[in-house]
A and B are shown apart, each in its own frame.
Chain A
Amino acid sequence: MNEWTGLLRLTMEDRLGKTVPSNVYFQGAFKVMRPIYHDDSGQACYYILNPGGGYLDGDRYYMQIALEPDARLTLTTQSATKVYKTPKHHAYQENEIILKEGSYFEYLPDPLIVYRDGRYKQITKIRMNKKSTLIYSDIITSGWSPDGSQFSYDMIQLVTEVYVDDDLMVYDHIKLTPNNQQMNALGMMEGFTHIGSMIVVSEQADNEFIEKVYKKLNTNEKEVKIGVSSLPVSGFTLRILAMSSQKIEHALSECHNFISSEWYQTRPSFLRKY
Chain B
Amino acid sequence: MTNNILSLFQLCDSNFPTGAFSHSNGLETYIQDGRVHDVATFLQWLDVYLNEQLIYSDGLACHLVYKALVENDLDKIWSVDRLLHVQNLPRETREGTQRVGQRMLKLVDVLYDIPTLKAYAERIQTKQSYGHPAIVFAIVGRYLDIPTIPTTIYYLYSAISSLVQNAVRAIPLGQTAGQKVLADFQQSLIEATNKIQNLDEADFGIVSPGLELAQMKHEHVNIRIFMS
* CB-contact partner of A187 in B56, B92, B206, B208, under 8 A: B208
**Stretch of B83-91, B108-116, B150-158, B181-189 that contacts chain A:** B83-91
CB pair B89–A173 under 8 Å, yes or no, is: no
Hey, which chain A residues are within 8 Å of B216, CB to CB?
227-229, 237, 239
Report how far A239 CA is from B205 CA in the complex, Å.
Answer: 16
Question: Is A214 in contact with chain B by the CB < 8 A criterion?
Answer: yes
Hey, which chain A residues are within 8 Å of B36, CB to CB?
186
Report how far A174 CA is from B214 CA in the complex, Å.
Answer: 16
Report how far A230 CA is from B88 CA in the complex, Å.
Answer: 11
Q: What is the total of A-B residue contacts with beta carbons within 8 Å?
A: 94
* CB-contact partner of A186 in B44, B89, B215, B217, under 8 A: B44
* B57: nearest chain-A partner, CB-CB: A173
Hey, which chain B residues are within 8 Å of A2, CB to CB?
none
**Stretch of A22-30, A97-105, A164-172, A253-261 that contacts chain B:** A164-172
* CB-contact partner of B94 in A192, A232, A239, under 8 A: A232
Question: Is B143 in contact with chain A by the CB < 8 A criterion?
Answer: no
* CB-contact partner of B213 in A172, A185, A239, under 8 A: A239
A75 to chain B, nearest CB (A): 23
Report how far A169 CA is from B91 CA in the complex, Å.
Answer: 13
CB pair B48–A227 under 8 Å, yes or no, is: no
A189-B209 contact in complex given A227-B217, A230-B91, C-beta closer than 8 Å: yes
* B46: nearest chain-A partner, CB-CB: A187
CB pair A188–B210 under 8 Å, yes or no, is: yes
Question: Is B137 in contact with chain A by the CB < 8 A criterion?
Answer: no
CB pair B220–A187 under 8 Å, yes or no, is: no
Question: What total of chain B residues lie within 8 Å of the partner, measured CB to CB?
Answer: 37
CB pair A169–B86 under 8 Å, yes or no, is: yes
Q: Name the residue in B56, B206, B213 with the highest tally of chain A Cβ atoms < 10 Å from its Cβ.
A: B213
Question: Is B66 in contact with chain A by the CB < 8 A criterion?
Answer: no
Q: Mark A188-219, 1 if CB is under 8 A from B, else 0.
A: 11101001000000000000000000100010
Q: Mark A158-185, 1 if CB is under 8 A from B, else 0.
A: 0000000001111111110000010001
CB pair B52–A189 under 8 Å, yes or no, is: no
Question: Is A243 in contact with chain B by the CB < 8 A criterion?
Answer: no
Hey, which chain A residues are within 8 Å of B212, CB to CB?
227, 239
CB pair A229–B90 under 8 Å, yes or no, is: yes
* A140: nearest chain-B partner, CB-CB: B209
A190-B82 contact in complex given A229-B91, A237-B89, C-beta closer than 8 Å: no
Hey, which chain A residues are within 8 Å of B210, CB to CB?
185-190, 241
CB pair B85–A229 under 8 Å, yes or no, is: no
CB pair B86–A232 under 8 Å, yes or no, is: yes
B100 to chain A, nearest CB (A): 16
Report how far A190 CA is from B29 CA in the complex, Å.
Answer: 14
Hey, which chain B residues are within 8 Å of A48, CB to CB?
none
Hey, which chain B residues are within 8 Å of A63, CB to CB?
none
Report how far A185 CA is from B36 CA in the complex, Å.
Answer: 12
CB pair A174–B220 under 8 Å, yes or no, is: no
* A225: nearest chain-B partner, CB-CB: B213
Report how far A268 CA is from B203 CA in the complex, Å.
Answer: 37
Question: Is B106 in contact with chain A by the CB < 8 A criterion?
Answer: no
Question: What 16 additional pairs, Cβ within 8 angstroms, besides A173-B87, A187-B44, A239-B212?
Answer: A168-B82, A171-B83, A172-B89, A185-B48, A186-B30, A187-B49, A187-B214, A188-B52, A225-B217, A227-B90, A227-B215, A229-B91, A230-B91, A232-B94, A239-B209, A239-B213
12 CB < 8 A contacts A-B = A167-B82, A168-B83, A172-B87, A172-B207, A174-B206, A187-B210, A188-B52, A189-B209, A192-B209, A227-B213, A231-B89, A241-B209
- For the complex of A and B, the 4 pairs showing the least CB-CB separation, nearest first, are A227-B216, A187-B48, A171-B87, A227-B213
